[in-house]
C-alpha cells in the first residue's frame, strides 16, 4: 500500500534530458498530494539544468476516464488543472482548452492531486457502505437491491451506489491508500479510507459463503466438488480489463474450497491474474451446478440464463425482477 514511484521518476529523468526553455510538463497519473512538486520537479530541474516556473511550466491534471462509457468522453469531461505557479496553471489550462470543453483551474498541483483522490475515495467509501448493508440485509432477510432502488427515488440528498463482490480496476482499490500513506507523514489516520478498504476487500469471501449456502440449501450440494461457472471476469461490464477484478479473487477462493470452476466472459477470452490462468468456456449454464454472475455484461440474456440454469447466484442484480421471483436465483 505504499506508492512505488520508480516508473514515474524514471520517466521524469528521460523528459529532463529533452526539456527546453518554454516547455510544459503535466503529470496525469493518480498519486498522493505533493508528488508533482516533491518528486517530479527536482528530477526535471536536476536533469535539465533549468528552473521550474522560470524556464519551464509544470502542472498536475488528473486523468478522468471511465472505461466503457460513451456518454462522457475525454472532450466533455471537465479537466482539473493545478500548476506550481500561476503561469504554469495558465499554460496547462490553455493547452487542454484546445481539445477539452471545460478546464477548471485550482491553486496548486497538490489541490489537483487531492481532487482525484477525493473522487476515488468517495466511490470507495460509498460502495463499502452498501456492501456492508448487503451483508446486514442478508442476515435480516431484506432485499438490499429493493432498498437501494427505493432510496434512489429521493430526488435530493441521496446518490445511488450498488453492492457487489468487491472493487476492481486500477483506480478505486488502490488509489485511496496513497492518501493513507501520505497522511501518516502528518500524524493523521484516515479511518474512513481504511475501513472502506477492509469492507470492500472482504466481499469475495462473503460472496463465496453465499455460493456455498445456495448450493447447500437449494441443491443439497457442498462447495467441494461442485461445478461452478463464473459469469464475467472483467472488473466492470462491457470491457476486457481484469486488473484487480473481484471475479479473479472469487475464483481463487472457490477453487481453494474444492469447487471445479470455469468462467465465461465474451470480452475476456483468457486471463492470467494472481496466479490464476484460465480461458473462457462456452456459455452452457445447464452443464453446471451453479452459475455465479460476477460481472453483468449487457450482451447476456439473463432471463434465458435463469431458465437454463440449475442454480444462479446473482451478485449484481443482473436477473432483476425475474430473478427475484425465481426459486433458482440467490442474490447478494
State how far the Cα of 215 lies from the Cα of 284, in Å rounded to an integer: 18
Burial 164-193 (b: 16+ CB within 10 A, else e): bbbbbbebbbbbbbbbbebeeeeeeebeeb
What does DSSP assign to residue 289? S
| Paired residues of 154 in beta bridges | none
Segment holding 202, helix H or strand E? helix 191-219
Instruction: Please work out, in degrees rounded to the nearest 5, the angle formed at the alpha carbon of residue 130 by the alpha carbons of 124 and 134.
Output: 135
Question: Which residues are tagged catalytic?
Answer: 171
CA gap 211, 223 in Å, rounded: 8
Specify whether the CB–CB gap between 315 and 164 falls below 8 A. yes
- Which three cell numbers, joined as nine digits, stand for 262? 470455469
Amino acid at each position: 500500500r505504499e506508492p512505488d514511484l520508480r516508473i514515474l521518476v524514471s520517466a521524469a529523468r528521460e523528459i529532463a534530458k529533452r526539456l527546453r526553455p518554454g516547455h510544459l510538463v503535466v503529470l496525469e497519473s493518480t498519486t498522493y498530494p505533493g508528488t508533482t512538486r516533491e518528486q517530479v520537479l527536482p528530477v526535471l530541474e536536476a536533469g535539465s539544468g533549468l528552473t521550474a516556473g522560470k524556464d519551464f511550466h509544470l502542472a498536475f491534471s488528473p486523468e478522468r476516464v471511465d472505461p466503457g462509457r460513451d456518454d462522457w468522453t475525454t472532450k466533455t469531461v471537465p479537466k482539473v488543472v493545478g500548476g506550481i505557479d500561476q503561469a504554469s496553471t495558465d499554460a496547462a489550462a490553455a493547452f487542454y482548452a484546445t481539445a477539452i470543453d471545460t478546464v477548471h483551474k485550482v491553486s496548486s498541483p497538490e489541490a489537483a492531486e487531492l481532487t482525484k483522490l477525493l473522487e476515488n475515495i468517495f466511490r470507495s467509501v460509498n460502495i463499502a457502505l452498501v456492501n456492508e448493508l448487503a451483508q446486514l440485509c442478508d442476515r435480516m432477510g431484506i432485499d438490499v437491491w429493493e432498498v437501494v432502488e427505493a432510496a434512489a427515488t429521493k430526488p435530493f440528498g441521496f446518490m445511488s451506489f450498488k453492492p457487489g463482490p468487491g472493487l476492481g480496476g486500477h483506480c478505486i482499490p488502490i488509489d485511496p491508500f496513497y492518501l493513507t500513506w501520505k497522511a501518516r507523514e502528518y500524524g493523521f489516520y484516515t479511518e474512513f479510507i481504511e475501513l472502506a478498504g477492509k469492507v470492500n476487500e472482504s466481499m469475495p469471501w462473503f460472496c463465496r459463503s453465499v455460493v456455498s449456502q445456495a448450493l447447500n440449501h437449494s441443491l443439497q450440494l457442498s462447495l467441494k466438488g461442485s461445478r461452478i461457472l463464473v459469469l464475467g471476469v472483467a472488473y466492470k461490464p462491457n470491457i476486457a480489463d481484469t486488473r484487480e477484478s473481484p471475479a479473479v479473487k472469487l475464483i481463487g477462493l472457490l477453487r481453494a474450497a474444492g469447487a471445479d470452476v470455469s468462467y465465461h466472459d465474451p470480452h475476456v477470452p483468457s486471463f492470467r491474474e494472481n496466479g490464476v490462468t484460465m480461458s473462457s468456456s462456452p456459455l452452457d449454464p445447464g452443464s453446471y451446478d451453479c452459475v455465479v454472475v460476477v460481472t453483468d455484461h449487457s450482451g447476456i440474456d439473463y432471463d434465458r440464463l435463469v431458465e437454463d440454469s440449475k442454480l444462479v447466484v446473482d451478485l449484481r442484480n443482473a436477473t432483476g425482477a425475474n430473478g427475484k421471483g425465481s426459486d433458482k436465483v440467490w442474490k447478494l
